[in-house]
Amino acid sequence: MKHIRFLSMGILFGIILSKGEIISWFRIQEMFRFQSFHMFGVIGSAVVFGIITIQFIKRKKLRDSAGTLITVSTQDPGYARNLIGGTIFGLGWAITGACPGPLFILMGHQGWFFVLAIAGAILGTFSYGLIEKKLPH
Amino acid sequence: MDKLIEFIQQPWPWWVSGPLITFTMFSLLYFGKSFGVSTNFKTACNLLGAGKVSNFFKFDWRDQLWNLIFIGGTIIGGFIAAHYLTPSQAVAISPATIADLKAIGIASPGSSYVPEEIFGSENRWSLRSMVFLLGGGFLVGFGTRYANGCTSGHAISGLSNLQKWSLVAVIGFFIGGLAMTHFFLPLLMKL
């Protein structure tokens, strides 16, 4: 039952991204054409508040609900994978109009057929797992 | 109260949604979890038995149960927003974007939440729709795992933690997104 909190956070996150139009294909197109401030404002303000939040957590040595010191993972996976993988992801983001979170939200928002995009993403992840060792990281 | 309901029913401005995304990230950290949606695709592979084929998918999925429940919640959230909190599905995109999209074959950009020509019920089983959904999804799934994170992990959590490699990933997101938008999308719309 302790997982109910994650369900509520998910519901809230789904509403925030829907109402902020972050899951609209049109907003993503607008972003990749630099024709509106909207998406840059969303991501930019989330990051600015995020930097303040993380600095606060680190300086005040905040603990989580279980009493463990909050740490933000800092493994450096290597720049090549970030750039190449990021580029492949960007190609997909611009046609589905959705990154992973929005793909799920769109299923609730627009209908079951977005499950096809999720299936595609699972297949993509599976394919990466198969050839992972042959790729530059 | 009426004012609040009226505000909620309007599209939310960036300065409302942006900080609320940070709040989501903080809530997850507070409950001992890290914000990263694309991991769920890897968990799905594990649940479908991919651990038999590659060690990459061998892990205890129970550690990610909270994340599966989180994305289950996001589906419900999307449903609630669309059916109860959004009287108009129109998206007020800029006139420049409307003109650009009309030029590549989208009849009325922004009049619906997503383009009818790609995701509408009339085009549901068209080649174009399959390429955009399955093909686009494939690139998203492959790319995020290769990049070790998506928008939530790199752009929000990573940049908030001032990670240089997350900035590199975000630059990659834009290289891919710009290439697709300006070079490949007009061709794909001809399908």
Assess if residue B32 is contained within a domain.
yes
Radius of gyration, alpha carbons of chain B = 19
Residue A80: the pLDDT is 95
Assess if residue B95 is contained within a domain.
no
Question: What mean pLDDT comes out for the span A122-135?
Answer: 96
Q: Which residues pair with A63 in a beta bridge?
A: A69
Residue A78: the pLDDT is 85
For residue B13, the enclosing domain spans: 1-87
Three-state DSSP state, A41:
helix
Assess if residue B77 is contained within a domain.
yes
Assess if residue B183 is contained within a domain.
no
Determine the distance in angstroms separating the CA of A82 from the nearest CA of chain B, rounded to an integer: 4
Domain tally, chain B: 1
Residues of chain A neighbouring B20 (CB-CB closer than 8 A): 12, 16, 20
Residue A52 has pLDDT above 80, yes or no: yes
Using one digit for the tens of pLDDT, what is the confidence trace for B25-58? 999 999 999 999 999 999 999 999 999 999 999 9
Angle at B186 between CA B185 and CA B189, to 5 degrees: 85
Cβ burial of A82 (10 Å; 0-12, 13-18, 19+) is buried
Assess if residue B189 is contained within a domain.
no
The helix-helix angle for B39-47 and B65-84 (nearest 10°) equals: 110
Whether A10 and B74 lie within 8 Å, measured CB to CB? yes
Of A26, A78, A100, the CB nearest to B91: A26
Residue A2 has pLDDT above 90, yes or no: no
Assess if residue B40 is contained within a domain.
yes
* CB–CB contacts below 8 A, A to B: 485
Contacts of B70 (CB under 8 A, 6+ apart): A6, A7, A9, A10, A13, B28
Assess if residue B185 is contained within a domain.
no
Assess if residue B130 is contained within a domain.
no
Q: What is residue A69's DSSP assignment?
A: B
Q: What is the mean pLDDT of each run of 10 residues along chain B (191 residues)?
A: 88 97 96 93 96 94 96 98 94 97 95 95 91 98 95 94 95 98 96 89
Beta strands in chain B (DSSP E): none
| Cα B101 to Cα A17, A27, A80, distances in angstroms | 23, 12, 33
Using one digit for the tens of pLDDT, what is the confidence trace for B54-81? 999 999 999 999 999 999 999 999 999 9
Using one digit for the tens of pLDDT, what is the confidence trace for A57-81? 999 999 999 999 998 877 767 899 9
For the whole model, what pTM was predicted?
Answer: 0.96
- ipTM of predicted assembly, 2 dp: 0.96
Determine the distance in angstroms separating the CA of A137 from the nearest CA of chain B, rounded to an integer: 8
Tokens of B165: 């490699």
Nearest 5°: phi and psi at A27?
-65, -35
**Residue A3: what residue type?**
H
The b/e string for B6-33 (b: 16+ C-beta within 10 A; e otherwise) is eeeeebbebebbbbbbbbbbbbbbbbeb
Using one digit for the tens of pLDDT, what is the confidence trace for A92-114? 999 999 999 999 999 999 999 99
Residue B1: the pLDDT is 79
